[in-house]
Structure 1
């Protein structure tokens, strides 16, 4: 069976969650996760004959964290070696620091810069991203593949520079991720586009000086990264053919912190799941952030994937988890092929639709 690029990218994004509950050093966690990535790449039908691990994984955690907060890896197409996919993991379900800093630190913004150059301005307004996205993107830029995994001793950018120098054909790079990984992938994709073929970018951030590589982004279930000026600037470099946002219409995450859709969040799951006081607090925060910070999705005109309510998830946040995680394989034609429980075993404890199912073995 031939799988679409969207199906392959979603599978790569879900595979990135394996090993999220490991504790230990960044180096040890990466070394433990690497063989699991290889195993799952070979087992999942959409990736089995298509992609192999060539860099990473690399992981990073805040100094006060028990679990790692960010993880990324790079795969290469088996038949077309000039094709690479950069994959970012989403929010670590068990890392509270990840939620607090990178997901919810949105009331402060940071200017978006191209290397050491002045702040990018679009429409006479400075382009800015949330502080949480800024922290995440700066962390993943610095992550280095440790000894014992492919690409050891290099950052993602250094690895891509080597690939650009050694391949006969121009690189075709796809950047992807789910949830926080989607927010980071669209932002990192813009960074790659900016630092390709630009002579005014610092040398350490130049990876494709001749600007031959193509950049595509497939972002699943991502929240906004920055304000409207940032979104407009991103759109000017990554048009709708190069940046694809794939969002479930019933997923609250892509609605946040977007000023155009945040008002829909409160009643999104009626009549199956009614909002409560916690929902009202969350929606109020999202509304304030959208008003005060002018957050806007890139390629905002792209249509949603039309979701369906789960009849068994009767509580608001149960429905939210279902729509954010379980629904995407179904919406993209991977029901019965890509099992979310394999990569999110925590679902069994929080969703009634999984109460009678056993997760496939995943050693976290």
Structure 2
């Protein structure tokens, strides 16, 4: 087979995009797991059949996919968490394997990819328990994913946010369903049991929430010696918020150098390993480092609408307060910014720049946080936009199908949900700040 059109970095990011499809649906936990598994059967080989959809044998990736993405096999998962039985996926993960990946500036070698899902905008649990839970921290030196609690910051040990600690714990607790690949196993059990070929890499990737979880999980499993069978461990996080403070960032950076020994550096902005790549117009990776949080209210220009400007200013102030409350100084792991471009329309509807409303702001946020990384196809009134990592989105099935009981979620619904989540978060934090005054 000839080399795929996407390089290794883009292939790995493509896996993060695929696991993120779990955010596009509503249903029970098993329905959502089967839907993601069915979707993966279009892109990956050896996905166990989803019998309710009429599949009777393991999948063969569609012929439109392999020339672009390469030939990858599903070997574990997908596994999915629906914490509150509210019809949405909170976390999702799968592992894929390829016999020969051509690493730019490095060798051709087999690789396993642990792909972790981004924040589900429709998941209140994601927002509250994992994304926004940063006012308390967990000591990394004593962190046990099965039994942990926040503690006071001592200024010397590495610490991660309570939200990051919760997310990693959730991923490690997941057990694959009977219908999935490697059924009845946890991710840690699977990775510790793998007997890979000589000179095999394992790569952790994820976008948004998973841009914080993937480096943290990779570091945890490295320290636990779970990955000792692999010759090389890499991380490719994107668009992630800051997982921890200064000492944690230093620990990650020293454990995972930007370039493996003997590999040649590459010229394109997205081409570096163990580096969090982020769009400089993306709000999410501006959290939770103080100097970056100070930019979020006016990232798309100062709103001329008083109410919108005030709301964004309050959002920024409350985020900064939460970030500083524990005393830990949130610090990005090694990272590289990518140059985004402001968009003035969304599939035919205009987006005001600067934002006239909170909806304008969130629509721009959604584009910059999701679509700018993977490209925006042309429509009747706009030319295509080349993505910061993928030139254009991965091929899609011509006739997508839904598992019985599953419904799809539209982009408009997700944007509406983000607006309501932001307003709710501001309201709850404002009331919390006012409570001592009201009780006095």
Further displaced range: 170-179 or 247-256: 170-179
Superposition deviation, residue 255 in structure 1: 0.6
In 2, distance between residues paired with 1:171 and 1:207? 11
Aligned-residue Cα RMSD (Å) equals 3.1
Distance 1:82 1:323, change over 3 A: same
Indicate if the aligned counterparts of 1:54 and 1:76 stay in contact, CA closer than 8 A: yes
**Higher Rg of the two aligned structures:** 2
Count of equivalent residues: 333
Q: How does 1:321-360 map to 2 (within 5 A)?
A: 321-329=366-374, 330-332=386-388, 334-338=390-394, 346-348=410-412
The Cα of 1:175 is off from its aligned counterpart by 0.4
Structure 1 residue aligned with 2:179: 148
Q: Do residues 227 (structure 1) and 245 (structure 2) align?
A: yes
Identify which of 188, 198, 206 aligns with 1:169. Answer: 198
SS at match of 1:99: helix
* SS in structure 1 of the partner of residue 138 of structure 2: strand
The alpha-carbon deviation at position 180 of structure 1 amounts to: 0.6
- Partner of residue 287, structure 1: 320
CA distance in 1, matches of 2:252, 2:304: 36
State the 1:78 CA deviation.
4.0
Residue 207 of structure 1 and its aligned partner are, at CA, apart by: 4.6
Listed as ranges, the matches of 1:97-176 within 5 Å are 97-113=125-141, 125-163=156-194, 166-176=195-205
Aligned to 1:320: 365
2:210 is aligned to: 181
| Aligned-partner SS, 1:13 | helix
**8 Å contact from structure 1 (residues 13, 87) kept in 2:** yes
| 2:314 counterpart of 1:311 | no
Determine the C-alpha separation between the residues in 1 that align with 2:309 and 2:414.
18
Where 2:20 maps in the other structure, the secondary structure is: coil
In 1, the alpha carbon distance for the partners of 2:200 and 2:214 equals: 17
Consecutive unaligned residues of structure 1, counting only runs of 5 or more, are 197-205, 352-364
Tell me the equivalent position of 1:355.
Answer: none
Structure 2 counterparts to residues 222-261 of structure 1, below 5 A: 222-241=240-259, 242-261=273-292
TM-score after normalising by structure 2: 0.68
Shift of 1:251: 0.3
Q: In the alignment, does 2:40 pair up with 1:37?
A: yes
Contact 2:201 2:230 in 1 (8 A): no
Distance 1:56 1:62 in 2: 18
SS of residue matched to 1:261 = helix
Higher mean displacement: 11-20 or 59-68? 59-68
Q: Look up the SS of the partner of 2:297 in the other structure.
A: coil
Q: CA deviation at 1:30?
A: 2.1
CA distance in 1, matches of 2:365, 2:302: 14
1:22 aligns with 2:67: no
Aligned to 2:42, the other structure's residue is in SS state helix
Report the TM-score when normalising by structure 1.
Answer: 0.82
Question: Aligned pair in 2 of structure 1 residues 340, 285: CA closer, same or farther (>3 Å)?
Answer: farther
Does structure 2 retain, via aligned residues, the 8 Å contact 1:247–1:304?
yes
The one of 210, 232, 237 equivalent to 1:214 is: 232
